[in-house]
Amino acid sequence: MTQTPTEPIHDARDTNSSPVEDRTQVSQLQPSPQKPRRHIPKAVLVLGAIALIAGAGYTVYRVFIYQPEPEGLFLSGRIEGYETDVSAKIGGRIASVAVREGDLVKPGQSLVQIDDSELRAQFQGASARVRGAQERLERSRQQLPVLEAQLQQANLTTQQAKQESQGRVEQAENALAAARSQLVEAQANLELSRVKQKRSNYLYSQGAVSAQRKDEDDATLSVNQARVATARQQVQSAQGTLTQAQATLRNTPIRAAAALQIEKQIVQARTDITVAQQEVKNVQAAQAEVQANLNYLKVNSPLTGSIITRSVETGEVVAVGAPLVTIVNLDNLYLRGFIPEGELGKVRIGQSSLVYLDTYPNQPLKATVTRIDPKASFTPENIYFKKDRITQVFGVELTLKNPQGLAKPGMPADGRIFGF
């Protein structure tokens, strides 16, 4: 702050001064009489200070803090959500409950475990039946190639035996034919030798031939008789060989019957395999059913949300379909509020809006008008004064985007609908 310099005081002896000025200066140099000081009450000072502070605060509020009321249609209500009752597919005794009301859960998270001791015993029995059926199937499968090999060997043996028997029969027939031919030849020679011997004896008796010739014809007859006897034996032997060969050939169907029996065993083995395969499928299906029931005993969360109701406790027995817990979907929350009947024309489905949570007043959530009640109702039931209930209102739902999970069911909140 700039100060004005004080003028110098002139001496009374200054020749340039007038008498009047001298008197004035003299009077200024003389001390003036002191006036009494006024005392201000402390209360006034305090009130003044308060008024000064209040004025300064109001100025700061108006300049830096105050914001004009935004435009739009306002409503108040509570955050609500779509509830999902998680029920039991299989009844039983509750073994444990892993969540409490207010807990946040994710899809697949364990909620409730129902006692599974009985089903586990059933599962063990089903598993044993599966193993037994699989073992029977494996034995049937192992038996089939053995029987097929036996059939192949039997067919081969039968074919070889048939061929060999047919060959032996043919050989025996040929040998018999040869023996018979030799017999005929021997018999012819014998008959010829008899004629010669008879003639020689007659001529010898007449002296027409010598005794030597007679002896030779007698010897030839004896030889031919022996040959006939031998030929007859050979015919008999060949006949016996043929008979045996024919008998062996007749036994070939017996070998074929053995192969046929093996074929029947193969058909039965294949039937056993089919039956065993079906049995395995049946017991596996039964095992899978027990396993599915075991899985049902472990109740998991189907969605992301918050537990709002826990309906069971450990040790309780629940029936099929009984609700265990209730979950509200945190990704699909809405503000449920009411607007006066006279403001209904300003609201339409799809309008943009904002939702203000009491907990986070400076973080409004974007929302959209998704429902307007088709019928009017009176002011909500929590208004107990008759004069306030005579006004009809319409329920409105503002579905909000809640990516950070700030909104929770039951929170009080305000909504502002704009865009009209």
- Judge whether 112 lies within some domain: no
Residues 235 and 331 in one domain: no
Residues 267 and 339 in one domain: no
Task: Encode pLDDT of 184-217 as tens digits.
Answer: 998 898 889 888 888 888 888 887 778 888 888 8
**In which band, very low, low, confident or very high, does the pLDDT at 342 lie, cut at 50, 70 and 90?**
confident
pLDDT of residue 189: 87
- Judge whether 268 lies within some domain: yes
**pLDDT over 80 (residue 29):** no
Residues 177 and 229 in one domain: yes
Contacts of 293 (CB under 8 A, 6+ apart): 90, 119
Residue range(s) defining the domain that contains residue 214: 121-280
Residues 186 and 234 in one domain: yes
Residues 267 and 378 in one domain: no
**pLDDT over 50 (residue 113):** yes
Residues 344 and 256 in one domain: no
pLDDT of residue 216: 86
Task: Encode pLDDT of 376-391 as tens digits.
Answer: 887 555 554 555 555 7
Task: Encode pLDDT of 73-85 as tens digits.
Answer: 999 999 999 999 9
CA torsion 49→55→60→65, rounded to 10°? 120
For residue 390, give the CATH number of its domain. Answer: 2.40.30.170
Beta carbons of 391 and 379 less than 8 angstroms apart: yes
How many separate domains does the chain show? 2
pLDDT of residue 61: 54
**pLDDT over 50 (residue 30):** no
Beta carbons of 248 and 168 less than 8 angstroms apart: yes
pLDDT of residue 338: 92
Residues 259 and 349 in one domain: no
**pLDDT over 90 (residue 281):** yes
Residues 135 and 266 in one domain: yes
Residues 266 and 208 in one domain: yes
Residues 139 and 272 in one domain: yes
Beta carbons of 395 and 377 less than 8 angstroms apart: yes
Residues 411 and 330 in one domain: yes
Mean pLDDT across 242-264: 78
**pLDDT over 90 (residue 108):** yes
Contacts of 129 (CB under 8 A, 6+ apart): 283, 286, 287
- Judge whether 316 lies within some domain: no
The average confidence (pLDDT) of the chain is 81
Residues 265 and 125 in one domain: yes
Beta carbons of 352 and 366 less than 8 angstroms apart: yes
Residue 159 CB: number of other CB atoms within 10 A?
14
Can you give the pTM of this predicted structure? 0.52
**pLDDT over 70 (residue 17):** no
Query: Which residue, 252, 280, 308, sits at the end of a domain?
Result: 280
Query: Which residue, 221, 255, 280, sits at the end of a domain?
Result: 280
Task: Encode pLDDT of 164-185 as tens digits.
Answer: 777 888 888 888 888 888 889 9
CA distance 6 to 2: 13
- Judge whether 29 lies within some domain: no
